C-alpha cells in the first residue's frame, strides 16, 4: 500500500470503532447482575452464584457395585477356590436401602444388592453369577481380587471439597450433582432482561393487517430468540414510528430493563432520530459506527445507567452485531466467565476479496471432513438476506487488514451451533496456510 492509499484508508476509518475496541468498551461498561435463589429444577443453563461445597461424602459409605455376596477375602482366596470350592453360610439379606445388622465372621457371607452398604467384617463382594447359592449357603468356585466390587466411601465426592465452582453454567451433570449434595435451591446470577425495540415507518408487526408497501418486523423476533439463546429474558416494546416523540416514549419504557436493544434508525438518514432522542434522554454514548461488515451503523452507550445498543436495521446486520456485542454483554451480566463463542480454524473453500477498512463476518457452513475443518460461505451475503443466517452454522471472521482469501487459506470461524462438531467423527487436524495481510 503506498502513502496515498494509507491516507485514504485512514479517512475511511474516521469515526469507525474497531470491533475489539468496541467489545472492550462494552464489557467495561457492563455490570454483573445480582443473585437470586432458584430451584434445582430451573437451574439448567443458569450460572452458579456460589461455590457448592460437599457437606458429606458420596457415596456416604462403602457399598456394593454388584448384586452378590459380601465375604471375607481370607475365606475365598485363590488357593481355596481353585483346589476346593468353598461353601459359606449366608447369615443375612441386605437389599439396597437397608443397613446390615450383622457382621461377617469366618466362613460367613451376607447377600447384598447393588448400592447396599458393605457389612462389617467383609472386604470383598462376589458377583452372584460367579456362585451357586441356596437361601442359607453360597458356594464359591471362582476366586476374586481382595476388595473387588466395592465402591469406597467418598470415591466420587469428599466432604469439604468444592465440587462446583461459582461461575459454572449448570448442565445436566451439575444438576444431578446438586441433588447428590441435597441442594434443592441454589443461588444463581439473575438473567438479564432485554427490552427490544424496532423502529421504522415501513414496518408492520405480525399481529397487524398490513399493506404491500410495509415490511414485516422480523428483527424483534430474531433478536428475542438470540436473547433467549444467550440466557436472557426478552421484553418486546413493539415498533416505534419514525418520530422523536414515538421513539422517546418507547425508549423510556425500555429503560426499565437491564439492556435496551433497538434496531433501525441509527444510520444518518432523514428519518433516523435515534441520535437526537438518545441525547434528549441524557445518553452517554461511546460510539456510533463500527468497523465491521455487515453492521457499520452501531450505537452504544448508557442511558440513565442502562446499556443501550442501537443495532442496524438490516436483519442480518442486527443479528451479526448482536452476536459480537450484545451477547458478550449479556453473558458478563449473567455471571459467565467467558463471553465468546467457540472458535476453530478451518480451511476456506472459496475466493473472497474485500476492502481493508472493515472486519467481515461471512455467514458460513463449517464441516469436518476426514478430521479437517472446512468452511464455505452460505452463498449471497446481502445484509437483508436472512436466509444466509438460516443456512449458516458459523460466522467466518475475516480480519480488517486482509484483502483476499483464497481456497486453502486458514480462517477463524465462530461456531453458532454444535452440529459441526458432531457430524463427522475423527481426529481434528490443522492444515491450510495462514492468511497473509496486504
- C-beta of 265: minimal distance to Mg ion in Å? 5
Q: Which is nearer to Mg ion, 247 or 396 (CB)?
A: 247
Q: Specify the stretch interacting with Mg ion by CB under 5 A; choose among 197-205, 216-224, 288-296, 412-420.
A: 197-205
Contact of residue 218 among ligand AMP, Mg ion, none (CB under 5-8 Å per partner type):
ligand AMP
Q: Does 315 bind Mg ion (CB under 5 A)?
A: no
Q: Which long-range contacts (CB under 8 A, 24 or more apart) does 182-185 make?
A: 182/55, 183/40, 183/52, 184/39, 184/40, 185/37, 185/38, 185/39, 185/40
Burial label, 314 (beta-carbon count in 10 A; 0-12, 13-18, 19+) = buried
- C-beta of 24: minimal distance to Mg ion in Å? 29
Contact of residue 263 among Mg ion, ligand AMP, none (CB under 5-8 Å per partner type):
ligand AMP
Contact of residue 217 among ligand AMP, Mg ion, none (CB under 5-8 Å per partner type):
ligand AMP
**Pairing, β 68-71 against β 124-127:** antiparallel
> Following DSSP, what letter does each residue of 149-198 receive, concatenated?
TEE-TTSSB-TT-EEE-TTPBP-HHHHHHHHHTT-SEEEEEPPPEEEEEE
- Cell of residue 106, nine digits: 469366618
Q: Does 200 bind Mg ion (CB under 5 A)?
A: yes
Burial label, 47 (beta-carbon count in 10 A; 0-12, 13-18, 19+) = buried
Phi, psi torsion values for 317, nearest 5 degrees: -60, -40
Which DSSP letter does residue 47 get? B
- C-beta of 291: minimal distance to Mg ion in Å? 22
Q: Which is nearer to ligand AMP, 153 or 324 (CB)?
A: 324
Binding marks (x or -) toward Mg ion, 256..295, rule CB under 5 A?
A: --------xx------------------------------
Contact of residue 267 among Mg ion, ligand AMP, none (CB under 5-8 Å per partner type):
ligand AMP
- C-beta of 359: minimal distance to ligand AMP in Å? 20
Binding marks (x or -) toward Mg ion, 202..231, rule CB under 5 A?
A: ------------------------------
- Cell of residue 224, nine digits: 428475542
Contact of residue 334 among Mg ion, ligand AMP, none (CB under 5-8 Å per partner type):
none
Q: Which is nearer to ligand AMP, 56 or 241 (CB)?
A: 241
- C-beta of 314: minimal distance to ligand AMP in Å? 4
Q: Specify the stretch interacting with Mg ion by CB under 5 A; choose among 195-203, 297-305, 377-385, 412-420.
A: 195-203
Name the nearest CA neighbour of 334 among 34, 42, 52, 38. 34
Yes or no: say if 232 and 330 are a contact pair by the CB < 8 Å rule. yes
**Pairing, β 372-377 against β 52-53:** unpaired
Yes or no: say if 356 and 401 are a contact pair by the CB < 8 Å rule. yes
Q: Which is nearer to ligand AMP, 309 or 348 (CB)?
A: 309
Alpha carbons within 13 angstroms on the beta-carbon side of residue 325 total: 37
Q: Which is nearer to Mg ion, 216 or 343 (CB)?
A: 216
Burial label, 83 (beta-carbon count in 10 A; 0-12, 13-18, 19+) = exposed
Helix (H) or strand (E) holding 245: helix 244-254
- C-beta of 341: minimal distance to Mg ion in Å? 29
Q: Which is nearer to ligand AMP, 52 or 261 (CB)?
A: 261
Q: Which is nearer to ligand AMP, 116 or 247 (CB)?
A: 247
Q: Which is nearer to ligand AMP, 57 or 202 (CB)?
A: 202
Query: What residue is closest to Mg ion based on CB?
Result: 200
- C-beta of 259: minimal distance to Mg ion in Å? 21
- C-beta of 414: minimal distance to ligand AMP in Å? 23
Q: How many residues bind Mg ion (CB under 5 A)?
A: 3
Rounded CA separation 163/422 (Å): 28
Rounded CA separation 19/320 (Å): 12
Q: Which is nearer to ligand AMP, 92 or 202 (CB)?
A: 202
Q: Report the interface residues with ligand AMP, using CB under 6 A.
A: 198, 200, 202-203, 215, 217-220, 263-265, 267, 269, 312-315
- C-beta of 191: minimal distance to Mg ion in Å? 30
Yes or no: say if 258 and 308 are a contact pair by the CB < 8 Å rule. no
- C-beta of 354: minimal distance to ligand AMP in Å? 21
Query: What residue is closest to ligand AMP based on CB?
Result: 313
Name the nearest CA neighbour of 263 among 318, 322, 316. 318
**Contact residues for Mg ion, defined by CB under 5 A:** 200, 264-265
Amino acid at each position: 500500500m503506498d502513502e496515498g492509499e494509507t491516507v485514504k484508508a485512514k479517512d475511511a476509518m474516521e469515526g469507525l470503532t474497531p470491533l475489539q475496541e468496541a467489545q472492550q468498551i462494552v464489557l467495561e461498561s457492563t455490570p454483573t447482575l445480582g443473585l437470586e435463589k432458584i430451584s434445582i429444577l430451573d437451574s439448567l443453563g443458569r450460572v452458579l452464584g456460589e461455590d457448592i461445597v460437599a457437606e458429606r461424602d458420596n457415596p456416604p459409605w462403602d457399598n456394593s457395585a454388584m448384586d452378590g455376596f459380601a465375604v471375607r477375602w481370607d475365606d475365598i482366596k485363590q488357593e481355596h477356590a481353585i483346589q476346593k470350592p468353598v461353601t459359606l453360610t449366608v447369615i443375612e439379606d441386605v437389599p439396597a436401602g437397608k443397613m446390615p445388622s450383622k457382621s461377617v465372621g469366618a466362613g460367613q457371607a451376607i447377600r447384598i444388592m447393588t448400592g447396599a452398604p458393605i457389612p462389617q467384617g467383609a472386604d470383598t463382594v462376589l458377583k452372584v453369577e460367579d456362585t451357586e447359592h441356596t437361601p442359607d449357603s453360597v458356594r464359591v468356585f471362582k476366586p476374586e481380587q481382595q476388595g473387588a466390587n466395592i465402591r469406597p466411601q467418598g470415591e466420587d465426592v469428599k466432604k469439604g471439597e468444592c465440587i462446583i465452582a461459582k461461575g459454572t453454567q449448570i448442565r445436566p451433570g451439575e444438576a444431578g450433582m446438586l441433588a447428590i449434595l441435597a441442594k434443592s435451591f441454589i443461588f444463581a446470577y439473575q438473567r438479564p432482561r432485554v427490552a427490544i425495540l424496532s423502529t421504522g415507518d415501513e414496518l408492520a408487526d405480525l399481529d397487524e393487517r398490513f399493506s404491500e408497501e410495509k415490511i414485516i418486523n422480523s428483527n424483534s423476533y430474531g433478536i428475542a430468540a438470540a436473547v433467549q439463546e444467550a440466557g436472557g429474558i426478552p421484553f418486546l416494546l413493539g415498533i416505534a414510528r419514525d418520530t422523536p416523540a414515538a421513539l422517546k416514549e418507547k425508549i423510556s419504557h425500555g429503560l426499565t430493563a437491564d439492556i435496551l436493544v433497538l434496531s433501525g434508525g441509527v444510520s444518518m438518514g432523514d428519518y433516523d432520530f435515534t441520535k437526537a432522542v438518545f441525547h434528549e434522554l441524557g445518553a452517554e454514548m461511546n460510539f456510533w459506527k463500527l468497523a465491521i461488515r455487515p453492521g457499520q451503523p452501531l450505537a452504544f452507550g448508557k442511558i440513565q445507567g442502562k446499556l443501550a445498543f442501537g443495532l442496524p436495521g438490516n436483519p442480518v446486520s442486527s443479528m451479526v452485531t448482536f452476536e459480537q456485542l450484545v451477547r458478550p454483554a449479556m453473558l458478563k451480566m449473567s455471571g459467565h466467565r467467558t463471553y465468546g463463542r467457540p472458535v476453530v480454524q478451518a480451511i476456506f473453500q472459496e475466493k473472497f476479496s474485500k476492502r481493508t477498512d472493515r472486519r467481515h463476518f461471512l455467514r458460513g457452513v463449517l464441516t469436518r471432513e476426514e478430521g479437517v475443518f472446512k468452511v464455505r460461505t452460505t452463498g449471497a451475503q446481502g445484509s437483508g438476506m436472512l436466509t444466509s443466517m438460516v443456512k449458516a452454522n458459523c460466522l467466518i471472521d475475516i480480519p480488517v487488514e486482509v484483502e483476499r482469501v483464497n481456497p486453502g487459506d486458514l480462517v477463524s470461524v465462530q461456531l453458532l451451533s454444535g452440529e459441526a462438531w458432531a457430524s463427522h467423527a475423527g481426529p481434528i487436524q490443522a492444515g491450510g496456510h495462514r492468511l497473509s495481510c496486504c
